[in-house]
Structure 1
Amino acid sequence: MREVTGRSSAAPEAGDQQVRGMARGGVLNLGSAVLSQVALFLVMLLLARVLGVRELGRYAQVYAVLSLLGLLSLSGFRAGLTRFVAVHLADDEPAALRGAIRLGIGISAVASTVIALGLAVGAPWLADALHDPQLTTGLRLAALCLPAATVCEAALAATRGWRTQRAYALIGQVYEPAARLVLTALALVLGAGLTGAFWALVAASWSAAGLALVALARMVRRVPAARPAYRPGELFRFSTVSWVSSLSSTGLIWVDALLLGFFDYGPDAIGVYHVATRLVTIAVFVLAPVNASFGPHLAHLYHQGRLDEVRRIYRVATGWVLRLSLPAFVALLVFPEQLLRLVGGPGLAGGAAVTVVLALGQLVNAATGPCGTLLNMSGRVSVNMMDNLAALLLNVLLNLWLIPAYGILGAAVAWAVSLAAVNVARVWQVRTQVHTVPVTPGMVKGLVAALVAMGVGFGVRWLVEGGTAQLAVGLAAIVVAYLAVVLALGLSREDVMVLRSVTRRNGRRVPADPAGPADGAGVGADRPVVRS
């Protein structure tokens, strides 16, 4: 990696261009993430309403296994492919770019196939360990999904190295969830039950993988022809550490559901916990699309030593994440019972305390922004790895202590405490590295607006009776109050610039970045539309 000198860009307009480029990708990511979360929420709603919370709990356990093994199969190449494609484009090295993509895709495909065979053979044993033999079929179908899901993730990660989010958004965030929703609904209509829902997951995964490979091949064809140059050392060093880090991070998300199964709490409790976690995940859905848009720009800027711009887009990205998430968090804190009833009926209202605890943990995650992405894309993957390992260890220890005594509430406390602790640590590490913290006047204004909106929400809860009417009026009042206070307090310069950038019409473009293309261009690349 080049030495980072801390030099700033030649003109403020260079930094503005990076913010605009990130905004265009981020807006596409955000729109696609909304569609993705809606689709996944509807899948959960269908399973809960048609099959019941017990079957939803089984679906959640199988999906937890698939997610963990997917990270194990990917071997860290998701972050590695994004970073090294971006770096090789910045350095004008098409041969190295082609070699990195072939290594990453090939090794991920082989590893996922081997692990899938192991899961298929060991499915009965794992189902017994989770105290539910009926999971065997679902685990075997998850094994069938695994190679496709892994290759899809790897291919889409590589496309993001061009600093365009189009393929990642349209395929990973729109097509795959939408296909899963449609096929799941069809399976349930035909009476195929939970097994049909797992087959829907298989079909959606394999078709998405095919589309992702086609999208990546089209982008590679834009790069000048060159014989692939393989540099396995640098890719493996980065990806191995990133693999441990990602596996630990994903484990932090899913280990609760698996430990609840090992403690024999049963699919009913796991189903309630899954609904609560899905609601909280929806609240912070904006973090993933902003991270996806932020990462390639950060890798490009940090590689060129443009630290002033790194600091700026980090603060801007964090502000977007928090302010766009706050209305949803307010809704979760004010109306947890009503939201749970909306999904699974009165039987889920007992998970209200779980929802509130999980929401508080994710609120800290949103407020600290893409600090983990900054560590990864600036080459500090070993630091991020240690953070994630420490958080996973803390989560497991807290789960072993709290689940036997408090059940799903104990699991929620363990997860929230672990998530908050690791993100506070990362903020301190980022401050040490790039000498900035993600606190801006815009964030303070957003928190003030959230407090006002919360007061309005509790007022509606006190004045309006009836679950459905109370929730509908309350959600509308929260959004209106939040937006009104934000606008009354005023938008920042970056906010105005971003709004103007993403609302441009008739093909108008912002001026070119003096240091290189900002949104998707690279070696021999055409300027793409946008995507996340």
Structure 2
Amino acid sequence: MNAIAPLAAQLKARFRSGSGRAVLWSFAAAVAARLGHLVLAVLLARQLGPTSYGTFTFATGIAMLAGQMSSLGWPILMNRLMPGLLKDRNWSRLKGLRNAGDAVVIISSLVVAAFLYGLGTALSELENGFKLAALLTVPLALTLLRRQQLAAMGRAAIGLMFDQGFGAIVLVIIILLWGAVTVEAAIVQYACATGIGIVITTILFRRGLPRELASVRPSYELRVWAAMALPMIIGQSAKLLMHKIDILMLAPLSDLHEVGLYGAAFRVTYLLSFPQVVLMSVFTPLFSQAFTNRNIKGVRRILKWSLLFACVTTVPAAAAILLVPELVMGGVFGPEFREAAPTLAVLTVAQLAGTIAIPYSAVLMMGGRERAFGAWNFGALGANILLCFLLIPAYGALGAAYATLVSALFLMIGQILLSRPLLSLPRQA
């Protein structure tokens, strides 16, 4: 009990604070967003069937990756610089950063969208998927920018909701009210809903900025800002590709039917990890504080409770899925998706491994081993790509699932081993 009391007191204080309430709102926003995406996946899969739903999954997956990569790290830069500029009341630099962020993201995402459209023209088999992805790239890039800007102002829950859930929820309402939809209409409506969300978040962001910005001239430091932003997106590139490489490789190495089966199965398992992802926004600062104080016992105690929470929130649901994967796929998405039951089972185990790895990721990042963490991520990405080349042509969606499982286990084991030196008590203790 004596070991539990300090952590319990820290968590209680954290949840009672303004940051704790913000985390609770972020948790609620994440729940709504993921449920919205799951309901959308069910409706579209039942209406479109595996092949057309595969086109939707491929297009949205490419667009999300393109939107994040084309932002060139500027959304993360906003989260890093804006709080300091607001605190220092440096209005001219803040205005310049705001203007430059909008210009860079719009121009770069337009260039990437044009490239995707041209790629669709060149690749006839995937033409529809790439052209639909081009339509979504700019809205998704701007949505990510607004999310990080709102987070930098202490309004993370609003940004999270509009970044992940708003477009899906609006599209769900449209389908429920007007019935059948084609994949092209679904993408157009999704893009329009995302555009409405951008308008709303832009208004909220602008109104939340200090009034003094209206009367000052912007100050620009484009070279400095670009030099800071680019390494951020490079550092995240392995993680971004890891989440989407299966979809990227399934379509050209197999077909869109397999993409639809894989996308539906993955959407179910996507729900397993979100409690841990959200709660780590509370535990990660605690890890940082414990490392700063060289309190290794505290780090180990926080890790223990993080892992316990991961098991409590994930293992029962995963066990239920593993018992009846055919019932889940057929009952939720329709009889055409029953063949994806083995894929669902493999992805469920992969998600379990990923959930266990999340606390160790925080330990590595807060403990100063982010370079080793990044290198291991790139190694896992390389293994994933190699396995996709080997397994997808023969096994389709199931092959992609096995590639994901192996890379997830590789990441989990590697992060556990890399964390061991940080968790070792000093000899004098």
Question: TM (normalized to structure 1)?
Answer: 0.68
The correspondence for 2:383, drawn from 394, 403, 412, is 394
Check whether the contact 2:92–2:218 (CA below 8 A) recurs between aligned residues.
Answer: yes
Shift of 1:119: 1.7
**Structure 1, residues 487-507: CA drift from partner, whole Å, max 9, x if none?**
xxxxxxxxxxxxxxxxxxxxx
Q: Equivalent of 2:171, from 162, 168, 180?
A: 180
Say if 2:25 is the partner of 1:17. no
Match of residue 141, structure 1, among 132, 154, 165: 132
AA matched with 1:213: T
Residue 169 of structure 1: how far off its partner (Å): 3.6
Change in CA separation of 1:165 and 1:400 when aligned onto 2, cut-off 3 Å: same
In 2: Cα distance, 1:52 partner to 1:256 partner: 20
The question of 1:104 aligning with 2:95 is answered no
Of 281-290 and 192-201, more deviation after overlay is shown by 281-290
CA distance in 2, matches of 1:380, 1:245: 13
Q: 1:110 to 1:370 in 2, by over 3 A?
A: farther
Structure 1 residues 361 and 238: alpha-carbon distance in aligned structure 2, compared to 1, 3 A threshold: farther
Amino acid in the other structure paired with 2:134: A
- Paired position in structure 1 for 2:327: 338
Q: 1:101 to 1:180 in 2, by over 3 A?
A: same
Report what 2:264 is aligned to: 275
Amino acid in structure 2 at the alignment position of 1:117: A
Offset at 1:156? 0.8
Alignment CA distance shift 1:85-1:382 (3 Å): farther
Paired amino acid for 1:200: Q
Matched residue SS, 2:274: coil
Q: How many aligned positions are there? A: 415
Q: Which residue of 2 aligns with 1:323?
A: 312
Identity percentage over the alignment? 22
C-alpha deviation, 1:411, in angstroms: 1.2
Question: How far is 1:198 from its partner?
Answer: 1.0
Structure 1 gap ranges (5+):
1-10, 437-532
**Alignment partner, residue 415 of structure 1:** 404
Corresponding residue of 1:246:
236
Query: Alpha carbons of 1:38 and 1:392: their partners in 2 closer, same or farther (altered >3 Å)?
Result: same
User: Shift of residue 45 of structure 1?
Assistant: 1.2
User: Residue 504 of structure 1 aligns with which residue?
Assistant: none
| Pair 31,19 (structure 1): closer, same or farther in 2 beyond 3 Å | closer
CA distance in 1, matches of 2:349, 2:252: 26
Residues 105, 155 of structure 1: 8 Å contact kept: no
CA RMSD of aligned residues (A): 3.6
Q: Judging changes above 3 Å, is the alpha-carbon distance between structure 1 residues 211 and 317 closer, same or farther for their aligned structure 2 residues? A: farther
C-alpha separation in 2, matches of 1:374 and 1:229: 38
Q: Shift of the alpha carbon at 1:428?
A: 4.3
Matched, 1:215 2:212: no
Match of 1:195 in 2: 184
Alpha-carbon separation, structure 1, partners of 2:41 and 2:397: 19
What does residue range 47-86 of structure 1 map to in structure 2 within 5 Å?
47-86=44-83
Shift of 1:266: 2.2
1:136 partner letter: E
Cα distance in structure 1, aligned partners of 2:120 and 2:21? 44
Q: Which amino acid aligns with 1:70?
A: G
Distance 1:69 1:316 in 2: 36
**Partners of 2:175 and 2:370 in 1: how far apart?**
38
Q: Aligned partners of 2:104 and 2:37: how far apart in 1?
A: 29
- The equivalent position to 1:28 in structure 2, one of 20, 25, 29, is 25
Provide the secondary structure at the position in 1 that maps to 2:270: helix
> What secondary structure does 2:133 align onto?
helix
In structure 2, the residue matched to 1:151 is 142
Q: Which amino acid in structure 2 is aligned with residue 151 of structure 1?
A: L
Give yes or no for contact 2:162–2:201 (8 Å, CA) kept in 1.
yes
* Other-structure match for 1:122: 119
d(CA) in 2 for partners of 1:409, 1:417: 12
Whole-Å Cα distance in 2 between the matches of residues 37 and 213 of structure 1? 23
CA contact (8 A) 1:29 1:293 kept: no
Query: Quick check: 2:168–2:190 contact (8 Å CA) kept in 1?
Result: no
Distance verdict in 2 for CA 1:38–1:422, change over 3 Å = same
Segment of structure 1 superposing worse, 317-326 or 414-423: 317-326
Q: 2:245 maps to what in 1?
A: 255
Alignment of 1:268-307 (within 5 A): 268-291=257-280, 297=285, 305=292
Deviations 1:66-96 (Å, cap 9, x if unpaired)? 1221122122234333233345567776665
- Deviations, residues 340-385 of structure 1 (Å, cap 9, x unaligned): 1112323322222221211111112112225546666788665444
Matched, 1:356 2:345: yes
The superposition leaves residues 31-73 of structure 1 with CA deviations (integer Å, 9 ceiling, x where unpaired) of 2222222221121111221121111111111112112211221
SS of 1:282's equivalent?
Answer: coil
Cα 1:433/1:90, change in 2 over 3 Å = farther
Deviation at 1:28, TM superposition (A): 1.9
- Native 8 Å contact 1:155 1:213 kept in 2: yes
Distance 1:175 1:72 in 2: 21
Aligned 8 A contact 2:392 2:398 in 1: yes
- Measured in 1, the distance between the counterparts of 2:339 and 2:256 equals 15
Q: 1:239 to 1:199 in 2, by over 3 A?
A: same
Measured in 2, the distance between the counterparts of 1:393 and 1:407 equals: 19
Quick check: which one's helix share is greater? Answer: 2
Q: Please tell me whether the aligned partners of residues 99 and 230 of structure 1 are also in contact (alpha carbons under 8 angstroms).
A: yes
Which of structures 1 and 2 has the larger relative contact order (alpha carbons within 8 angstroms, sep 6+)?
Answer: 1
Distance 1:37 1:12, change over 3 A: closer
Q: Which amino acid aligns with 1:259?
A: M
Shift of 1:418: 0.9
Cα distance, 1:434–1:98 mapped onto 2, change above 3 Å? farther
